[in-house]
Amino acid sequence: MNVIYKSNEFILFEKNEQVYIQVIANGITVYQFNDALKQLPQVKVTSFTDLQNALKSKSSTSTLIGVLKSRVEIEVSQDEMTAFVKLNIPSSELESCKERIVSEILELLKAQGVSKGIQYDYLQGELSNSRKVEVAKGVAPVSGEDSKYAYYKTNAKQPKISENGVTDHYELNLINNINKGEWLGEKTLPKAGIDGLTVRGNKIPARFGRDYNLKYDRKTVEEKFEKDKFVLRAKQNGAVNFDGEKIKVENHLIISGDVDYETGNIRFDGSVTITGTVQDKFIVEATGDIDIKGKTGVGAVGKIISTHGSVTIQGGVNARNEGKIFAKNSIFVKFVNEGYLEAENEIHVGLYAFDSYLKASKVFVDPKKGKIVGGEIHAKHKIVSGSIGNIQERQTIVNVEGFERIDIKVELDAMKLKFQDLLSSANRMKRKLEIFETNMDRLEDRAKNTYEALVQNYQTLLDDLDFLSRKAEKLEDILRTRGEGEIKIHQTIYPKTMMELKTLQRQIVETMNCSFYVKDNRIHLVD
């Protein structure tokens, strides 16, 4: 047996990597033994019962109490990205024989096949016992850069409103004109990644960058490879628009001057720009946006209808209670007098609405200068105006259909749950794509087709997520409405104004400076 520790109280021996104790003094405690054990990191006690029995009285025989640990323990992680070392060497030797210990570590690393990423800074520094330390680290792969894409930026189809509610402008550039051959979008090519390396020198293939398909209407837009990227260009002159996520060039009819007897009624599949006005009794119907730029606005037209877009009349409306203006999206006018306007989204009025019928989800009349006098205003959840009625007590009706807040919240919560489900599906599909991309250089044609289908499905999921996100934003905007329907007045509401909030009615009998909202089947006032 080899003696590994000796004191006046006990001796520790080692034989065949097993540790024995011989007690030579009575009354030795476990605490005394533990103090000695702190100097012997190479000893591991495996039988505490035998140790306690041996410590009770001195004996001429030795007792097996443990085993001798390896001087140097090397552990390689399952993914081979990290190797650890743990030293079990007497403290005195650790300080005096560092070079030999470092040599032992390097030899054991070599025996384990570890040859890359060795942390020489650690080996040159101060060594310590009984602590697992990273001694080698692999190089993680760097994923390839995904293809990057960009599309033509269309103008926002709404007036710019500052934080204090002041309208900056109402002269919108509603239609985005483009000529044949002009740029509509582009994408760069995906790039290869940088392979990683394990501590054993095994290569970890890097994921090739994902390739995203550009979305466009193939009838009006073409894709070409130019230099180092794919570029979308217009096949025709027209107006840029998006059909869902696809960019397209709609037919764009530009009428220089007025719609009158020379042009006849206009019915057009696309967008229409009229530099003048629409004469009385004439009709303009378009599937896209309609932009009437004449400073005089329009009068008693027959009708102006956008079945899928918005309508902008930059000079306002003097309709004399004739004709109708309708938009699938929104309507923007400078003013409206004796007009009929209906939009599914919003109606924005810059100055005033006199004796007119307006109907939309939200009706917004400029808070600083805007007036609603006479007529009927109908909104689903909110009406905003500077004032309503006038000092002459003109009969005015403002109606907010209202909404059930709990129903909107339930719908929003359900939408968020669906969003999370789709997000989980997208993440699962992303992991599948990464598996394919890791082995891209070894894929057969059939597997590449499967990969392309996955890319398409993944992009569809991202589009669905984007759609849900935008729809959720609209619901959240409704929930920001005060109560369950709101009439927000920034200045004054005058007598002879009839308010309807949900099923409740209130006739204004005195001049007031406040706003109103409905909640719990009651109309509330807000200063």
Q: Is residue 200 part of a domain?
A: yes
Distances (CA, A) of 389 to 151, 181, 374, 487: 46, 53, 6, 13
> Two tokens at 7?
């004191």
**Per-residue confidence (pLDDT) for residue 171, from 0 to 100:** 45
* pLDDT tens for each residue of 285-295: 999 999 999 98
- Quick one: pLDDT band at residue 326, thresholds 50, 70, 90? very high
| Same domain as 154, residue 239 | yes
Q: Is the pLDDT confidence value at 74 over 70?
A: yes
Task: Give residue 92's pLDDT.
Answer: 75
Most confident of 126-130, 195-199, 462-466: 195-199
For the ranges 106-110, 159-163, 321-325, 332-336, which has the lowest average pLDDT? 159-163
CB 312 within 8 A of CB 172: yes
SS3 state of residue 517 = strand
Task: Say yes or no to pLDDT of 172 above 70.
Answer: no
Three-class SS of residue 136?
strand
Q: What is the mean pLDDT of residues 434-453?
A: 78
Q: Which of 68, 103, 118 is the last residue of a domain?
A: 68
Q: What are phi and psi of 390, to 5 degrees?
A: -150, 175
CA–CA gap between residue 454 and residue 440 (Å, rounded): 14
Helix then strand then coil, in percent of the chain rounded to 5, is: 20, 40, 40
Which of 248, 270, 303 is the C-terminal boundary of a domain? Answer: 248
* Shared domain check, 169 and 129: no
pLDDT digits (tens, 9 = 90+) for 210-264: 888 888 988 899 999 998 899 999 998 888 888 777 899 988 888 999 999 988 9
The per-residue pLDDT for range 415-431, each reduced to its tens digit, is 999 999 999 998 998 88
Find the DSSP H helices in 45-141: 48-55, 91-96, 98-111, 120-124
The helix (run of H) or strand (run of E) holding residue 71 is none
Instruction: Answer yes or no: is pLDDT of 160 > 70.
Output: no
What are the backbone dihedrals phi and psi of residue 105, each rounded to the nearest 5 degrees, phi first? Answer: -60, -45
Amino acid identity, residue 484? E
**306 has which bridge partners?**
286, 327
384-417 pLDDT, tens digit per residue, is: 999 999 999 999 999 999 999 999 999 999 999 9
Q: Are 168 and 215 members of one domain?
A: yes
* Selection from 481, 495, 483, 477 nearest residue 523 by Cα: 483
Residues 171 and 218 in one domain: yes
Angle between helices 48-55 and 30-37 (to 10 degrees): 120
- Can you give the pLDDT at residue 97? 86
**Average of per-residue pLDDT across 69-79:** 91
367 vs 20, 255, 386, 388, 390, CA distance in Å? Answer: 93, 34, 4, 11, 15
Question: How far is Cα 448 from Cα 443, in angstroms, rounded to an integer?
Answer: 6
The count of domains in the chain is 4
Q: Does pLDDT of 159 surpass 60?
A: no
Domain boundary, last residue among 14, 34, 68 = 68
Helices 445-479 & 405-438 angle (0-180, nearest 10): 160
- 490, part of any domain: no
Query: 121 with 153, same domain?
Result: no
Three-state SS at 434: helix
Q: Taking 70 as the threshold, does the pLDDT of residue 174 lie above it? A: no
**Average pLDDT value over all residues in the chain:** 89
Q: Are residues 110 and 59 in the same domain?
A: no
* 61 and 84 in a common domain: no
Q: What mean pLDDT is predicted for residues 190-197? A: 90
User: Would 61 be classed as within a structural domain?
Assistant: yes
Classify residue 85: in a domain, yes or no.
yes
- Return the CA Rg of the chain: 40
In 3D, which of 181, 79, 198 has the Cα closest to residue 136? 198
In a domain, 95, yes or no: yes
Name the β-bridge partners of 434: none
Let me know if residue 363 belongs to a domain: no
DSSP summary character for residue 145: P
Q: Worst-scoring range by mean pLDDT, 30-34, 259-263, 315-319?
A: 30-34
What whole-number distance in Å separates Cα of residue 340 and Cα of residue 306? Answer: 14
Banded pLDDT at 441 (limits 50, 70, 90): low
**pLDDT tier at 509, thresholds 50, 70, 90:** very high
Q: Tell me whether residue 383 is in a domain.
A: no
Q: What is the largest CA-CA distance in the chain?
A: 128
* DSSP code of residue 189: P
Closest C-alpha among 375, 376, 374, 370 to residue 394: 374
- What confidence tens digit (pLDDT) does each residue in 365-378 have? 999 889 999 999 99
- Please check the confidence at residue 169 and state whether its pLDDT lies above 70: no
Residue 47 has pLDDT above 50, yes or no: yes
Residue 467: inside a domain: yes
155 and 230 belong to one structural domain: yes
Q: Report the distance separating Cα 283 and Cα 325, nearest Å.
A: 10
The kind and range of the H/E element at 410 are helix 405-438
Residues 89 and 52 in one domain: no
Residues 170 and 234 grouped into a single domain: yes
The one-letter amino acid code at 235 reads K
- Residue 433's domain spans which residues? 405-479
For the four alpha carbons of 407, 410, 416 and 418, in that order, the dihedral sign comes to negative
Tokens of 462: 């991202």
Question: How many angstroms separate the CA atoms of 196 and 206, rounded?
Answer: 7
Q: Are strands 271-274 and 290-292 parallel, antiparallel or unpaired?
A: parallel
